[in-house]
Amino acid sequence: MRAKLSGRSRALSWLLVALTFGLLLSLQLNSSPSQLPAAPVDGRDRAEETIYRLEEEQQSLKARIGGLRQELAAYQQETAAATGLLEELSAELDRQKKMAGLVPAKGPGMIVKLDDSHRQAIPAGEHPSAYIVHEYDLRDIVNLLWMAGAEGIAVNKERVVGTTSIYCVGSTVMVNDTRLSPPYIVRAIGNPFRLEDYFRNPSYLIEVKEKARLNRLIFQYNRSADVELPAYQGSFALRLARTGQ
């Protein structure tokens, strides 16, 4: 009897274990489908958030790029305006340098040659000074060239500028404090025909023409299509001058 009860109890125990295991398995199977979609939903939300954030950053970058392009365009306009102003100033400076004789010049004009007389013997009673070129002869020629509209003048290799002095020390002619020797070659840039008309006018250079006719002083002038002038090499010493401000 006890053996039968023991076998029955053992069977009930196994049956209880089996039922419990089945119940747990059933619960597991029923709960799994409801939990599976949770992970994909969270991942999709995170992906959408990332996309929105990247789109916002992209819009911000586009706005920044647009602003930088506007700044660059404005800078380019300012640079172009400054460059144009600089070019104008540079052109004006070059023009002023040319007018002041600070740069070499080239153009049509006239070449004048003035030299002492080649006469071998001076007639009795004549003064030797009547047979040589004096500084005032050169000054008369230079002044006439300016009056005729010359744009630039040089005596030998000395450019004539606003501060140029032509004077004599003994029998030596000085131009820009530089000693010159005859023959004196005066080059001028200007309208060749206008310059020649002034030189042909009998009212001008009367003394030079008279010495050339009577004393054989060398005085020649010719139009030229290609006159070259050197740049002024001296300095501009200002001791007393100052600005008006």
Q: What is the pLDDT along the chain (245 residues), one digit of tens a residue?
A: 444 445 555 555 555 555 555 555 454 444 444 444 444 556 667 777 877 777 787 788 778 877 887 887 787 777 877 788 888 888 888 888 888 888 999 999 999 999 999 887 777 777 778 889 999 999 999 999 999 999 999 999 999 998 899 999 988 999 999 999 999 999 999 999 999 999 999 999 999 999 999 999 999 999 999 999 999 987 776 677 776 66
Please list, in sequence order, all residues whose beta carbon lies within 8 angstroms of the beta carbon of residue 220, skipping any fewer than 6 positions away.
Answer: 112, 113
68 domain residue, yes or no = no
CA distances from 152 to 158, 198, 226, 235 (A): 11, 16, 13, 18
157 vs 154: CA distance, rounded Å: 6
Number of domains making up the chain: 2
- 3-state SS assignment for residue 43: helix
61 domain residue, yes or no = no
Q: Are both 224 and 106 inside the same structural domain?
A: yes
Q: Are both 129 and 30 inside the same structural domain?
A: no
pTM, two decimal places? 0.65
Tell me which residue range forms the domain holding 163.
102-229
CATH for 191: 3.30.70.1880
96 domain residue, yes or no = no
